[in-house]
Chain A
């Protein structure tokens, strides 16, 4: 086989019928283009989401109450005793943080609105990468003392203060006065844009101790545990579950580490990418059938040429290679064009989601590999048909 000569012949054949070549490639262009785009978008968004979750703290475990199975009884909640005991029972725990929630009304002067008063531990601002501007977050001391300080969401600030500077001003939440010490800006991450985020900008955040004093309860809505670096997260989850079983025999709790969340998320996006990829692969098959169809037409049209080639000394294998390489050239050209065109949706999606997306070399290699495969699989039948032609019959063909 003379590869270079065959490539040249294939190129000449394609160029002699450009429209037909382009239409034949269309299936492969769409198939390869969508596979490439889906891989790039799937990988990029997954990496962005996981990166975001991990930036919240790769070693965070959430504990939250769940409806006990088979009973209509009320939720059993964690309480302040658990906060003291947990770090003692599970020594890998560095910090225990609490979340309490009170649906209420906030007021400043004559302006009022509904908002959630959320009681949080001092560690949250850092753990959740909150952007506080202007002002500051509350300290551990303020939390311990139950200080009446509040950090308000930017939307709340706008509704209550307008263009006025809220820092140092008083607001009333659930009827109690608080001094505003900071404003939280909305979350700007990908997840926040996809799912609405935590809605920090609509909240009024105060020290957990302060909020629990207002509600008059020792129950805690959700506990987030920060684990010491290097600890085995799964083991800590097990230990926490064991503790909860002993301390709250009637309760039911969800215990979830960020690691588990990222794993669940990446398996979901993985499945999604796989399913869409499979659909795109079907269009590759359709493209391959198109190539086979046009190659069969081409073999018939060029019967005379095949006869002449055999008369001047072409072996079966020479003819086989010629047409096989032509089929592969069609499909690989389609694959390369598809790869190039895939840049467009990838760029658009990357811009819309504001995340870096790129077509990686391994995806291009995969696409080209697939195109070669499609060309060979769907080219081999027409090519062997051409190779098997009887030279006399071929020369007599009108």
Chain B
């Protein structure tokens, strides 16, 4: 078998505020191989986001080792971490985190600026990425002119514009109604089919059932790790949703606002 893309060995994370120490992660061992689709589940405060942040090179473990594509992340300088976040990882957040003053196309372009891509090429690739998430016709709209589902798809376009090998999505459907959420899952499944490794945090078993593997975290430890037996395919779920009774996603109001 190929080498793991992500390998964590005894990863711990302790948050210290004054004299109080919070053990967010208490020794995580995890391997994720290229092309996997992993759902991370667990109760609130169990350390899912902390784990995602470490995997996404936004944060460093307090103890233990993290290898990304064979490289030990704790050996990387801050600029190298930024480079990894730019080229290898795409983030999707629960609250979308789009830049409110910019059009969808400009939002999607931003990672390419840090990759040193010229303006014309940037624009072209941003439009391609928006096409890919089905928003080619909304490229020049600002986030406040888009529905929640559309905003999250812009965020996905931004995450994949630099063709990363991993997409990290922390509760991407948390602020969306079920249909918009299903559409986001369809998109993630499609990207996964195209070879992108996906890690997804969710509270909802229905969403986790779209993944190929479910890892359960409790109290900073992995308590379960099993393959998905009855995998849901978002395209089929969408097809079974009542077509007439449902609004088209375009017309749906945002389920959650853009952060202030």
Contacts and interface: CB of A to CB of B under 8 A. Distances in A.
Contact of A315 (B79, B158, B259): B79
- Taking residues whose C-beta sits less than 8 angstroms from the other chain, chain B's interface range is 20 to 34
Contacts of A312: 85-86, 91, 110-111, 114, 158
A12 B113 CA distance: 16
Interface stretch (B95-103, B144-152, B227-235): B95-103
B78 interface: yes
B58 A313 contact: no
Contact of A304 (B58, B158, B259): B259
A141 interface: no
B97 A308 contact: yes
A16 B101 CA distance: 8
Interface in A313-329: 313-318
Interface string B81-94: 01101110001010
B53 interface: yes
A392 B91 contact: no
B115 interface: yes
B101 A313 contact: no
A256 to B, nearest CB: 67
Contacts of B86: 312-313
A12 B162 CA distance: 24
Interface in A288-324: 304-305, 307-318
Query: What DSSP secondary structure best describes chain A's contact surface?
Result: helix
B47 interface: no
Contacts of A309: 110, 114
A315 B82 contact: yes
Nearest to A309: B110
Contacts, number: 62
Interface string A319-363: 000000000000000000000000000000000000000000000
Contact of A313 (B53, B85, B97, B102): B85
Nearest to A315: B82
Contacts of B53: 392
A57 interface: no
Contact of A310 (B58, B93, B119, B259): B58
B172 interface: no
Nearest to B99: A305
Contacts of A13: 101
Given A13-B101, A315-B78, 8 more contacts: A5-B119, A12-B101, A304-B97, A308-B99, A311-B58, A311-B85, A316-B82, A392-B59
Interface of B: 53, 56, 58-59, 78-79, 82-83, 85-87, 91, 93, 97, 99, 101-102, 110-111, 113-116, 119, 158, 162, 259
Interface of A: 2, 4-5, 12-13, 16, 304-305, 307-318, 391-392, 395
